[in-house]
């Protein structure tokens, strides 16, 4: 291993300290040391970035362009923990009347969204109030749900259980049912070291499974890694999306900025979104930026499923959003006030082709994420 210039300089200084012991020499020495130290740690240095990325582990494989894996100190990942979480995710015992599971509204074939439904049905056919969000790449997010009301995955895991419009029960009632299943005692013991079943362990096991759901193997990812080339339409669509400002919010390799925005969906706000959770008026109508990954599989779109197709989403942000923004006096980076019909039909087709290139077939077919009861 080559000697770091910073430490080499210190050694030289120590050797010649007595010979060059003037105060001026000391000042120069300190300045030079600082320059070498900070000059060698530039934030844009690719070597530094690569060292931070965990490319592969025994449990989760992540390609190099994705962010570093997130580790929770109080929830160490294990094969047994992830597998327990998978069983719980698909077990209908988690609902009030044993008719629904998390997987009922998060279908793997549709990138873990709800079977093209605008709104999900809970127990007793109760209709929910928002469109089901996908459950992949959640380890890199720091808030969850459309209104960001959960700060961590183990929080998220229990909320649908308690929601009267979803699974409509309590974690304690679920635990009581799980304790009657001998296999679960063994699974909890393998995952956590003892066979006690608690709401806390229920949440941690679900968190482990959700953390394991990584989507990073689409055509776009393969093109980025040099494994194939995008088609002409796919490449053009990426360029158009970039030019029109889509990546102002759908940024990074996750294709989301992990923030909430009012994108001009409504003149009159009926769902307060983030503002409904925080109670802040200036946050009303703001919703979490969804990832564009696998977006071709997750229709309908927006928090209420109002748009049936990607073409309708593009049409809205190209045309109708301007009226709503003007009415609410909102200005957004991705829109130029007063302009309409800026995207041609051919460019719309190209953007849709690019969005289709973000589909990860491995995610929707991987048996590691599938229903173990089938």
- The CATH number assigned to the domain holding 341 equals 1.10.760.10
Q: Give pLDDT, residue 53.
A: 36
Structural contact between residues 202 and 178, judged by C-beta atoms closer than 8 angstroms: yes
Q: Are residues 102 and 126 in the same domain?
A: yes
d(CA 71, CA 82): 14
Cβ neighbours of residue 346 under 8 Å, at least 6 residues apart?
Answer: none
Domain match, 280 and 334 both: yes
pLDDT at 111: 98
pLDDT given for residue 284 in this prediction: 94
**Which pLDDT does position 322 carry in this prediction?**
61
Instruction: Determine, yes or no, domain membership for 237.
Output: yes
The boundaries of the domain holding residue 171 are 79-215
Please indicate, yes or no, whether residues 230 and 318 belong to a single structural domain of this protein.
Answer: yes
Asked if 233 and 330 sit in the same domain, the reply is yes
Structural tokens at position 319: 């045309």
Residue 150 domain flag: yes
Are 121 and 224 in a shared domain? no
* Rounded-to-integer distance, Cα 208 and Cα 89, Å: 11
- The pLDDT, as a whole number, for residue 227 is 95
273: which strand partners? 286
For residue 323, the model assigns a pLDDT of 60
Residue 72 lies inside a defined structural domain of this protein:
no
Rounded to whole angstroms, how far apart are CA atoms 71 and 234? 35
Distance CA 63, CA 362 (A): 13
- In the prediction, which pLDDT does 342 show? 79
Looking at the fold, whether 353 and 225 belong to one and the same domain comes out as yes
* 239 within domain boundaries: yes
What's the total number of domains in the chain?
Answer: 3
Q: Are 17 and 29 in contact (CB under 8 A)?
A: no
In a domain, 60, yes or no: no
Q: What is the pLDDT of residue 214?
A: 97
| C-alpha 135 chain-centroid distance | 8
Cut 0.75: pTM above it: yes
pLDDT value of residue 334 = 52
Same domain, 250 and 200: no
pLDDT tens string for the chain (374 positions)? 444 443 344 444 443 444 444 444 443 443 444 333 333 333 332 222 222 333 345 688 888 889 998 888 999 999 999 999 999 999 999 999 999 999 999 999 999 999 999 999 999 999 999 999 999 999 999 999 999 999 999 999 999 999 999 999 999 999 999 999 999 999 999 999 999 999 999 999 999 999 999 999 999 999 999 999 999 999 999 999 999 989 999 999 999 999 999 998 998 899 999 999 999 999 999 999 999 999 999 999 999 999 999 999 999 998 877 665 555 555 554 555 444 557 999 999 999 999 999 999 999 999 999 999 99
* Residue 64 resides in a domain: no
* Residues 37 and 148 grouped into a single domain: no
Are 254 and 343 within one domain? yes
Q: What is the pLDDT of residue 341?
A: 54
Q: Note the pLDDT of residue 321.
A: 79
């Amino acid at each position: 291993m080559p000697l770091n210039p910073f430490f080499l300089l210190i050694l030289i200084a120590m050797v010649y300290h007595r010979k060059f012991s003037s105060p001026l020499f000391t000042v120069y020495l300190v300045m030079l040391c600082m320059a070498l130290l900070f000059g060698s740690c530039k934030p844009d240095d690719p070597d530094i970035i690569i060292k931070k990325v965990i490319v592969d582990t025994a449990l989760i494989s992540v390609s190099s362009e994705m962010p570093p894996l997130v580790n929770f100190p109080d929830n160490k990942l294990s094969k047994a923990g992830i597998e327990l979480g998978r069983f719980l995710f698909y077990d209908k015992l988690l609902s009030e009347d044993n008719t629904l599971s998390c997987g009922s509204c998060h279908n793997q074939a549709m990138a873990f969204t709800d079977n093209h439904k605008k709104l999900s049905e809970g127990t007793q056919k109760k209709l929910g109030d928002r469109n089901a969000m996908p459950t992949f790449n959640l380890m890199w997010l720091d808030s969850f749900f459309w209104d960001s009301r959960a700060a961590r995955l183990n929080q998220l895991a229990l909320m649908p259980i308690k929601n009267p419009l979803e699974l409509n029960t309590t974690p304690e009632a679920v635990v009581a049912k799980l304790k009657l299943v001998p296999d679960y005692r063994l699974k909890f013991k393998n995952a956590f070291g003892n066979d006690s079943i608690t709401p806390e362990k229920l949440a941690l096991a679900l968190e482990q499974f959700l953390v394991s759901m990584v989507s990073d193997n689409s055509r776009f990812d393969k093109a980025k890694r040099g494994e194939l080339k995008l088609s002409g339409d796919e490449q053009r669509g990426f360029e158009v999306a970039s030019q029109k400002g889509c990546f102002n919010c759908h940024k990074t390799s996750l294709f989301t900025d992990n923030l909430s925005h009012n994108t001009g969906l409504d003149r009159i706000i009926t769902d307060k979104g983030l503002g409904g959770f925080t109670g802040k008026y200036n946050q009303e109508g703001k919703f979490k930026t969804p990832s564009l990954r696998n977006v071709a599989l997750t229709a309908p779109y927006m928090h209420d499923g109002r748009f049936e197709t990607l073409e309708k989403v593009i049409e809205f942000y190209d045309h109708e959003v301007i009226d709503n923004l003007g009415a609410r006096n909102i200005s957004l980076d991705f829109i130029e006030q007063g302009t309409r019909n800026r995207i041609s039909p051919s460019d719309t087709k190209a953007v849709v082709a690019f969005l289709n290139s973000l589909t990860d077939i491995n995610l929707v077919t991987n048996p590691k994420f599938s229903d173990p009861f089938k």
